[in-house]
Structure 1
Amino acid sequence: MELTAEIAAIRGGGGDPARLVGEFRRSVLLVPFAVGPEGTGDADGAPSGLMSAVTGGVRWLYAFTDEDALARFAAERGDAGREWAYLSVLGARLTDALVPMVGGPAGVVVNVADADGSMLFPPVCGIVPDAYAVDAVDAERSGAF
């Protein structure tokens, strides 16, 4: 099953969270580069100038399952008229290599502009490396390790 189908299954109240994470890790995702006001690659703390946002102390890297999903995001931002440069990367590479570069809690939001098809992959054990998972840090502080 592809990632969008796994997301739909989870959002529909069924699905298997482990299968969802596995499909996320195997999927090639499109991660747009941030473009600042002067056309710079300033991403305000995101690795390699990748587009992201910070909410609740977590940096969320934007990722899309295909160009149509990225185009819907661009349209929602009122920015559909420009060309969007992006990185094609496996979900596993995104969480295992790029999340550690952030320097704080970071996760991935897939298809953020799709009200019924978006999914958060938060910075927790089983999604990001344990050393960067907020629940591993909490467990370590509580003496569970």
Structure 2
Amino acid sequence: MGLAEEISAVRSVSGHSGRLLGEFRRTALLVPLSEGDGGGLMTGWQGGVRWIYAFTDEAALARFAEARGAGAREWEYLSILGARLVDAVIPSVEGPTGVAVDVADEDGSMLFPPVVGIVPDACAVDAEPDRAEAV
């Protein structure tokens, strides 16, 4: 089963969050590049969290482009494994950062928030403070 199917299964309550996260980490996601800031990854802000936009395929990215009224222009994107996105990219971003997958698909979108088990503990908003630092 692919990531889009795992998302659908979880949303319909027949899926399993562990399988969803595993598929997310194994999937090559399409991440659009911003036009305005030197070609960085396209992100949005919601609730104090930066969300990296990522898509399961070109059709999902095209629906996002259409929803933004920019379907006629060519969109540059990076193909990157979900694991690399959360393990290498998110730690390089300042502040809480998660991944928003297929956000233009009302019934097929999924958020991977900056919490323990999804992003590295050092980037997770719910990580316990290191006891060694507290002493």
Q: What TM-score do you get using the length of structure 1 for normalisation?
A: 0.87
Equivalent residue for 1:46?
A: none
Q: Which amino acid aligns with 1:21?
A: L
> Structure 2: which 5+ residue stretches go unaligned?
none
> 1: distance between equivalents of 2:119 and 2:24?
12
Q: Does the residue aligned with 2:80 lie in a helix, a strand or coil?
A: strand
Counterpart CA distance in 2 for 1:7 and 1:61 is: 17
**Structure 2 partner of 1:41:** 38
Q: Which residue of 1 aligns with 2:60?
A: 69
Tell me by how many angstroms 1:13 deviates: 1.3
User: CA-to-partner distance for each residue in 1:40-90, whole Å, 9 max, x for gaps?
Assistant: 536xxxxxx100011111000000000000000000000001100000000
The count of aligned residue pairs is 133
2:17 paired with 1:17: yes
Once the two structures are superposed, the pairs formed by residues 1-145 of structure 1 within 5 Å of their partners are 1-36=1-36, 41=38, 49-136=40-127, 139-140=128-129
Comparing 96-105 with 20-29, greater Cα deviation is found at 96-105
**What is the aligned-residue identity percentage?**
64
Give per-residue Cα distances to partners, 1:114-142, cap 9 Å, x unaligned: 00000000001111001101110xx2289
Runs of 4+ in 1 over 6 A off after TM superposition: none
